[in-house]
Amino acid sequence: MDSGNIAWVLISTALVLFMTPGLAFFYGGMVRSKNFLAMLMQNYFAMGLLAVLWVLFGASIAFGNLGDGGWFGGFDFAGFQDITINSKQFAAFTGGIPDPLFLAFQMTFAIITPALITGATADRLKFAGYAVLIGVWLLVVYSPVAHWAFGGGWIAEMGAFDFAGGLVVHINAGAAALAVLLVIGARKGHGKEPMAPHALPWTLLGTGILWFGWIGFNAGSALAANAIAAQALLNTIIAPAAAMLGWLLVEKLKGKHVTTLGAASGAVAGMVAITPCAGFVGTGPSLIIGFLAGIICYLALFIKEAAKLDDALDVIAVHLVGGIFGSIALGLFADSAVNEIIPDGLFLGGGSDLLVDQIVAVAAVFAFALVATYIIAKAIDMTIGLRVDEETEDIGLDQALHAETAYNNL
Amino acid sequence: MKKITAVVKPFRVDEVKEALKGAGVAGMTVSEVQGFGRQAGHTEVYRGAEYTVDFVPKVKFEVIVDDAEVQGIVDAIVTSAKTGKIGDGKIWVTSVDELIRIRTGELGTDAI
pLDDT tens digits, residue range B58-86? 999 999 999 999 999 999 999 999 999 99
DSSP string, A352-376: SHHHHHHHHHHHHHHHHHHHHHHHH
In chain B, % of residues over pLDDT 90: 85
* A350–chain B Cβ distance below 8 A for any pair: no
Return the SS3 of A351: coil
Q: How many angstroms separate the CA atoms of A184 and A121, rounded? A: 8
**Candidates B45, B54, B55, partner chain A, best to mutate (most A CBs within 10 A):** B45
CA distances from A241 to A4, A245, A247 (A): 29, 7, 10
* pLDDT tens for chain A, residues 1 to 410: 799 999 999 999 999 999 999 999 999 999 999 999 999 999 999 999 999 999 999 999 999 999 999 999 999 999 999 999 999 999 988 988 999 999 999 999 999 999 999 999 999 999 999 999 999 999 999 999 999 999 999 999 999 999 999 999 999 999 999 999 999 999 999 988 889 999 999 999 999 999 999 999 999 999 999 999 999 999 999 999 999 999 999 999 998 899 999 999 999 999 999 999 999 999 999 999 999 999 999 999 999 999 999 999 999 999 999 999 999 999 999 999 999 999 999 999 999 999 999 999 999 999 999 999 999 999 999 999 999 999 999 999 999 999 999 998 76
Q: Quick one: pLDDT at residue A196?
A: 94
CA distances from A278 to A14, A95, A243 (A): 19, 19, 14
* A398–chain B Cβ distance below 8 A for any pair: no
Minimum CA–CA partner of A256 in chain B: B45
* A207–chain B Cβ distance below 8 A for any pair: no
Asked if A156 and A69 count as a contact pair (C-beta separation under 8 A), the reply is: yes
Q: Which of A194, A257, A265 sits opposite B47 (nearest CB)?
A: A265
Query: How many residues does the structure list for chain B?
Result: 112
Asked if pLDDT for residue B53 goes beyond 90, the answer is no
Please name the residues between 133 and 162 in chain A that touch chain B, using a CB distance below 8 Å: none
B92-B97-B102-B104 Cα dihedral, nearest 10 degrees: 120
Q: What does residue A59 show for φ and ψ, rounded to 5 degrees?
A: -60, -40
Chain A contact set for B34 (CB, 8 A): none
Closest by alpha carbon to A140, among A70, A45, A49, A58?
A: A58
Chain B contact set for A251 (CB, 8 A): 48
- Beta-carbon contacts of B49 under 8 Å, excluding residues fewer than 6 positions away, are none
Q: Quick one: pLDDT at residue A79?
A: 98
Q: Quick one: pLDDT at residue A44?
A: 98
Q: Quick one: pLDDT at residue A92?
A: 87
CB atoms A261 and B47 under 8 Å: yes
Q: Quick one: pLDDT at residue A1?
A: 73
Q: Which of A194, A197, A301 sits opposite B48 (nearest CB)?
A: A301
Q: Which of B45, B52, B53 sits opposite A257 (nearest CB)?
A: B45
CB atoms B45 and A265 under 8 Å: no
Q: Which of B46, B48, B53 sits opposite A254 (nearest CB)?
A: B48
Strand partners, B49: B46
Chain B contact set for A194 (CB, 8 A): 51-53
Q: How many angstroms separate the CA atoms of B74 and B76, rounded? A: 5
Amino acid at B47: R
* Distance in Å, alpha carbon of B31 to nearest chain A alpha carbon: 14
Chain B contact set for A265 (CB, 8 A): 47
CB atoms A262 and B47 under 8 Å: yes
* Distance in Å, alpha carbon of A402 to nearest chain B alpha carbon: 28
* Distance in Å, alpha carbon of B88 to nearest chain A alpha carbon: 26
Alpha helices, DSSP H, located in A54-153: 59-63, 91-94, 99-116, 127-137, 143-149
Query: Where does B12-88 show beta strands of DSSP type E?
Result: 29-35, 42-46, 49-53, 56-65
CB atoms A194 and B46 under 8 Å: no
Asked if B9 and B83 count as a contact pair (C-beta separation under 8 A), the reply is: yes
Chain A contact set for B52 (CB, 8 A): 194
Chain B contact set for A301 (CB, 8 A): 47-48
pLDDT digits (tens, 9 = 90+) for B93-106: 999 999 999 999 99
